[in-house]
């Protein structure tokens, strides 16, 4: 199901050349990266690494947004170790990704952690974009 935006709050723009062995730069110049295929040994990052960084940062932002609503303060030292895997799907004719977020919330009890993570998973734009299409595993420490 497609979710239409009710209002555009921000639009990121990037110009990419060369695909996985190219380069990408945002219109504001804040991001300017060399790209390389996973396992190639070439300098640069790959789309899966960028996705892992983006999803984990967005998820922390979502926890901070929902924390006051669910009565749980996000610890200052919150962290997420994100893994994004690439592999074949549909009998090897196409490729897909899977994501794992290992969420560390020091100082909270198990009930607070679950309440916060569940609420964040409902509002996080990356969670909403991947829901029903990408295997996402959340673990809480």
φ, ψ for residue 108, nearest 5 deg: -100, 150
Which CATH number goes with the domain that contains 61? 3.30.300.20
Which CATH number goes with the domain that contains 31? 2.20.25.10
Measured between alpha carbons, how far is 99 from 84 in angstroms, rounded to an integer?
A: 4
- Give the strand order in the sheet containing 79-89: 79-89, 94-104, 135-140
Show the tokens assigned to 70. 């669910």
Q: Is 109 found in the same domain as 87?
A: yes
Show the tokens assigned to 111. 């009930």
Q: Is 120 found in the same domain as 54?
A: yes
Measured between alpha carbons, how far is 24 from 53 in angstroms, rounded to an integer?
A: 15
- The tally of domains found in the chain comes to 2
Three-state DSSP at 110 gives: helix
Q: Is 51 found in the same domain as 61?
A: yes
Q: What pTM, to 2 d.p., does this model score?
A: 0.94
Q: Is 123 found in the same domain as 90?
A: yes
Is residue 105 within 8 Å of residue 116, measured between CB atoms? yes
Q: Is 74 found in the same domain as 35?
A: no
Q: Is 76 found in the same domain as 30?
A: no
The pLDDT confidence band at residue 3, using thresholds 50, 70 and 90, is confident
Q: Is 122 found in the same domain as 67?
A: yes
Give me the domain span that covers residue 125.
Answer: 46-140
Q: What is the pLDDT of residues 61-90, one digit of tens each?
A: 999 999 999 999 999 999 999 999 999 998
Write down the pLDDT at residue 90.
Answer: 84
Show the tokens assigned to 25. 């730069």
How many angstroms separate the Cα of 128 from the Cα of each of 64, 80, 120? Answer: 17, 18, 10
């Amino acid at each position: 199901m497609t979710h239409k935006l009710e209002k555009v709050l921000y639009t990121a723009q990037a110009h990419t050349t060369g695909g996985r062995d190219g380069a990408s730069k945002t219109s504001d110049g804040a991001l300017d990266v060399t790209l390389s295929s996973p396992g190639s040994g070439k300098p640069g990052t790959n789309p899966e690494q960028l996705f892992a960084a983006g999803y984990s940062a967005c998820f922390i932002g979502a926890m901070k947004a929902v924390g006051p609503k669910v009565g749980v303060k996000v610890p200052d030292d919150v962290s997420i170790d994100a893994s994004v895997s690439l592999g074949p799907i549909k009998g090897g004719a196409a490729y897909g990704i899977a994501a794992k977020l290992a969420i560390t919330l020091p100082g909270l009890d198990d009930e607070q952690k679950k309440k916060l993570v569940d609420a964040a998973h409902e509002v996080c734009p990356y969670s909403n974009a991947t829901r029903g299409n990408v295997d996402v595993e959340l673990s809480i420490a």
